[in-house]
């Protein structure tokens, strides 16, 4: 039996919504989760506003097995993720007894002042577990099924590497890509028939438009190798049939 594990993501940050910063974390999380057998089902990008963060986290944590957030856990006034997630869970946001001395020791060792701003990074919802940050020390955290991580891609990726082994994973959704020389208008009808005949697969069609010409990538996904193989063969047969019937539209 295929095991399905679902997840959602909340990207927190005005800078993404203004277009100033181009998000790179959605694609990375999506790829990694797919690779380990977790289905990313929804992403929300929300501004640096407490009510919006609380609403998104609460909507998604009830609906999906895991939630991952990026952004807003630094030391400045616009970093309000820890407070917002604490509010979402109805617990206080306070200095964490592990994070506080860890950061203090880090700055002491470098002769740097442990400023109020830096102390902010030790604040997290009561009951949270730390997510190790091998790059810049200030940890992320997990509370319930919500994993709160940095927005800087290098740090997000390092934190995610630390989180992955702790996650329950599902049956991997296998996929194969079949390049198709025809535009979607040619294959749309027969491809829908293939999908109908192979309900245990998910067949996607992705139009490509390069140098004024359309072609298509067909992707078949399934949780069993047998279903995947049957779907792929049916697509290849369909392409062969089209080639035979439409020699001039290749």
Which 14-33 positions form the footprint of its own copies (CB under 8 A)?
A: 14-23, 26-33
Q: State the minimum distance, in angstroms, from the CB of residue 199 to its own copies.
A: 12
CA angle, 21 then 24 then 29, to 5°: 145
Instruction: Mark the segment that binds its own copies (CB under 8 A) among 141-149, 161-169, 206-214, 224-232.
Output: 206-214
Among 92, 134, 179, 188, binds its own copies (CB under 8 A): 188
> Among residues 95, 100, 107, 215, which is the contact residue for its own copies, using CB under 8 A?
107
Q: Distance (Å, rounded) from C-alpha 69 to C-alpha 64?
A: 13
Site for its own copies in 37-56 (CB under 8 A): 39-48, 52
Question: What mask, x for binding its own copies by CB under 8 A, covers residues 118 to 157?
Answer: x-xx-------------xx---------------x-xx--
- Length of the chain equals 250
> Phi first, then psi: what are they for 142, rounded to 5°?
-120, 135
Q: Cα 154 to the chain's mean position, in Å? A: 15
Q: Pick the closer one to its own copies by CB: 97 or 196.
A: 196
On whether the CB atoms of residues 19 and 31 are closer than 8 A, the answer is: no
In the set 4, 5, 58, 78, which binds its own copies (CB under 8 A)? 78
Site membership for its own copies, residue 92 (CB under 8 A): no
Q: What sign does the CA torsion over 41, 47, 50, 55 have?
A: negative
The Cα–Cα gap between 81 and 74 comes to 9
Q: Which of 3, 112, 240, 243 binds its own copies (CB under 8 A)?
A: 112
Nearest to 197 by CA among 173, 217, 220, 175: 220
């Amino acid at each position: 039996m295929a095991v399905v594990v679902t997840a959602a993501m909340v990207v927190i940050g005005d800078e993404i919504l203004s277009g100033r910063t181009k998000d790179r974390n959605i694609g990375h999380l999506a790829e990694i989760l797919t690779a380990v057998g977790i289905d990313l089902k929804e992403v929300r990008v929300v501004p640096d506003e407490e009510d919006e963060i609380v609403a998104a986290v609460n909507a998604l944590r009830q609906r999906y097995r895991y939630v991952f957030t990026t952004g807003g856990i630094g030391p400045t006034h616009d970093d309000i993720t820890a407070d917002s997630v604490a509010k979402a869970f109805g617990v206080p946001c306070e200095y964490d007894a592990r994070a506080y001395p860890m950061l203090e020791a880090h700055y002491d060792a470098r002769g740097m002042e442990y400023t109020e701003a830096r102390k902010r990074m030790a604040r997290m919802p009561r009951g949270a577990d730390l997510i190790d940050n091998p790059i810049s020390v200030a940890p992320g955290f997990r509370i319930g099924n919500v994993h709160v991580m940095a927005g800087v891609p290098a740090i997000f990726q390092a934190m995610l590497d630390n989180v992955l082994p702790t996650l329950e994973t599902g049956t991997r959704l296998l996929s194969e890509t079949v390049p198709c020389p025809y535009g979607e208008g040619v294959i749309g009808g027969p491809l829908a028939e293939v999908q109908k005949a192979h309900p245990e697969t998910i067949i996607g069609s992705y139009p490509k438009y390069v140098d004024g010409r359309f072609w298509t990538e067909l992707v078949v996904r399934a949780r069993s190798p047998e279903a995947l193989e049957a779907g792929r063969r049916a697509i290849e047969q369909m392409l062969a049939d089209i080639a035979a019937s439409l020699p001039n539209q290749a």
